[in-house]
Structure 1
Amino acid sequence: MKLTYRHNPLQSQHSPLPGNAAPGLARTPAPLSPLELAQRLQTSLDLERVLEMFSESIQWAFPHDGMTYDHPALGLHSSWGRISRHSCCYNLVVEREEIGELRFLRGRKFRDEELTELENLMGVLVYPLRNSLLFRQAVDAAQTDPLTGLGNRAAMERLLPRELASLRRGQHELALLVVDVDHFKRINDTLGHSAGDRVLRATAKCLREATRESDMLFRYGGEEFVMLMRTDNPEDGLQAGERIRTVLRECPELQAAASGMQLTASIGVAQAHPLDTPATLFDRADQAMYTAKQAGRDRVVRSEE
């Protein structure tokens, strides 16, 4: 294990940290031996839970007001507690593998003996932390389409119930769009499957360019893509569908992927209702997409409510 330490005094004091609040940071649990701490950390493979348990468990030896964890290469950031004046940061490396940065915060300066104790305790954390990172990466890989880099059907089926639950709590509106590349079988039959793969990769790239960072994109299967988007009004989904249709039709990379063919897409849009299940919402958008196909392709059709 390798630790790189730095100390930073902060200007703001006792303001809320963005992210997850953890009231447990204010408590001082009973002391744990290194073995007991290791056993506790091994009870979960959830990254945030492992870090939260570690923060709570070391309060007796290393009192702190807040903690943050960052792994820029994986796009991970989590925070607990509150910002305080003083901080200490550690870059964690195990067997030459960087596993992120931990930052601890509190109102009074950290004493040398406390930092020594913390470094000993982090020796117990690093392997459970690495295991949770490996587990998270494995789950992400299992939910990623290898051809396009988008989420796959399994990822969509995991996220859609959560988004519908948020809709029912009144947190946001939700639309689901099904995007299907027109005449895709003709591309495979005429130009071969390598050309079909190029079309799918180019479609995914153009979809990313046509959507917001908050929109959720998936390759559902074959030439069919799905987008989940949080909306402010029922027209947002239809407008997004028209924007995507236009971008795909005019995307140079997509048009170059199948020489001699004008590539277009048919798009179905369904606005979610509180009584929708994942299946009913998807089926309405999927049926609207087939209606667009039957009406001549290269168009957007909204599901009848």
Structure 2
Amino acid sequence: MQTLNLLEQQFSSFNAFRLFESEHIENNKRGIALLEQLQTTLELDALLNKFAMEASKYVNFCGLTFKNEEATVVMRGHREGNFSRHFKLAVEGAALGTLTYNINAKFAGSHSKILEELHTYLLYPLKNALQFKRALAMAMQDSLTGLGNRRYYDEQVKRAMHQAKRQKSQVGLIVADLNKFKAINDTYGHAVGDKVLVNFANALRDSVRDSDSLFRFGGDEFVVLIEAAGKEALEVLYHRIHKAVASNDYLNKYQVTCSLGATFMNNADSEHSFFERADQALYRRKMNMPCNLAIV
């Protein structure tokens, strides 16, 4: 495994006056062709694929991966090779991530120089795509708990329902809220109320599978989207939530309990009817026990 030095772009190397200097003509042709492609998208997957297609015209590689703390993106048709070559990318002192090429034969010096040249044109489109990804994530996230928000739920439930119909699998929904939460806010103030919500969100995180999705709609209303699961899985999840709430010191301090309502999608459901059925189950059972599950 070989690693190249950090490639950092403080200023764009593109200079229109240099287009007419013979020694730069070929490099500028490559750069302009690449920029035309990269400037058409802010999606990381599409960006990497467009870059890979252009770079493959000049250098032979069988796989390409971009990775940082936020994302791992793999080019379409990626294959492992006998060797790998790493390029760490940064803009104005800020690290973007690492490009890893999978290759079957070691790069010649000329190949590395070509890639370094091409990378200078990738840096700012890549930076923009990463910023766009962060902005989208923030738009889909509840700022207090870090869970998905209603907008993100609407997107994910539509996807999950479509997939369940196509694969003939089950998708379940649990709606949860906190019992007498308004009294906690009124008695102890909104700062305590916010901490209660954060601790309940953490209890939910501790309870669900990696494949489940969590959302907060606002106030004390939370939703769990459960894919590829049956009634038994929902009941197991209920017991996990109950146990996590009961073992949370902060929730115990304020005697916080919860109520849960659940349902499974049927083929006649819309996104609205699916949620409404779980929501109705929650409120039909809400006053019966401190923490209960109704599945309809």
Distance 1:191 1:167 in 2: 43
Residue by residue over 1:177-206, the C-alpha shift from the partner in whole angstroms, topping out at 9 and shown as x without a partner, is: 111011111111111111111110111111
1:184 maps to which of 181, 198, 215: 181
Unaligned runs of 5+ in 2: 6-27
**Equivalent position SS for 1:99:** strand
Distance 2:41 2:268 in 1: 34
Residue by residue over 1:199-227, the C-alpha shift from the partner in whole angstroms, topping out at 9 and shown as x without a partner, is: 10111111111222222111111101111
Residue 231 of structure 1 contacts residue 237 of structure 1 at CA under 8 Å; is this kept in 2?
A: no
After TM superposition, the score normalised by the length of structure 2 is 0.86
The answer for the alignment partner of 1:53 in structure 2 is 50
**Equivalent position SS for 1:225:** strand
**Equivalent position SS for 1:33:** helix
Distance 2:168 2:278 in 1: 22
Distance 2:252 2:290 in 1: 16
Identity %: 33
Distance 2:258 2:125 in 1: 46
**Equivalent position SS for 1:63:** coil
Give the alignment's Cα RMSD to 1 decimal.
1.8
Distance 2:197 2:274 in 1: 24
Distance 2:170 2:258 in 1: 25
Q: How does 1:208-219 map to 2 (within 5 A)?
A: 208-219=205-216
Unaligned runs of 5+ in 1: 7-30
Q: What residue identity is the alignment partner of 1:5?
A: L
Would the alpha carbon gap of residues 55 and 283 (structure 1) be closer, same or farther in structure 2, given more than 3 Å must change?
A: same
Residue by residue over 1:239-267, the C-alpha shift from the partner in whole angstroms, topping out at 9 and shown as x without a partner, is: 212321232133223223x3xxx211000
Shift of 1:237: 1.6
The answer for the alignment partner of 1:128 in structure 2 is 125
The answer for the alignment partner of 1:237 in structure 2 is 234
Distance 1:274 1:95 in 2: 53
Distance 1:207 1:199 in 2: 12
**Equivalent position SS for 1:82:** coil
Q: How does 1:167-206 map to 2 (within 5 A)?
A: 167-170=164-167, 172-206=169-203
Q: What residue identity is the alignment partner of 1:244?
A: I
1:300 maps to which of 276, 293, 296: 293
Largest Rg, 1 or 2 = 2
**Equivalent position SS for 2:64:** strand
Q: What residue identity is the alignment partner of 2:4?
A: Y
Count of equivalent residues? 270
The answer for the alignment partner of 2:258 in structure 1 is 265
The answer for the alignment partner of 1:106 in structure 2 is 103
The answer for the alignment partner of 1:152 in structure 2 is 149
- The answer as to 2:28 corresponding to 1:35 is no
**Equivalent position SS for 1:87:** strand
Distance 1:126 1:273 in 2: 47
Distance 1:283 1:250 in 2: 30
Residue by residue over 1:118-149, the C-alpha shift from the partner in whole angstroms, topping out at 9 and shown as x without a partner, is: 11001000100000000000010111111111
Residue 48 of structure 2 contacts residue 73 of structure 2 at CA under 8 Å; is this kept in 1?
A: no
The answer for the alignment partner of 1:5 in structure 2 is 4
Distance 1:131 1:250 in 2: 43
Q: What residue identity is the alignment partner of 2:179?
A: D
The answer for the alignment partner of 1:18 in structure 2 is none
Residue by residue over 1:75-130, the C-alpha shift from the partner in whole angstroms, topping out at 9 and shown as x without a partner, is: x1122310011211111111111111111112122111011001100100010000
1:84 maps to which of 74, 81, 85: 81
Distance 2:237 2:217 in 1: 18
The answer for the alignment partner of 1:10 in structure 2 is none
Distance 1:139 1:171 in 2: 31
Distance 1:193 1:300 in 2: 27
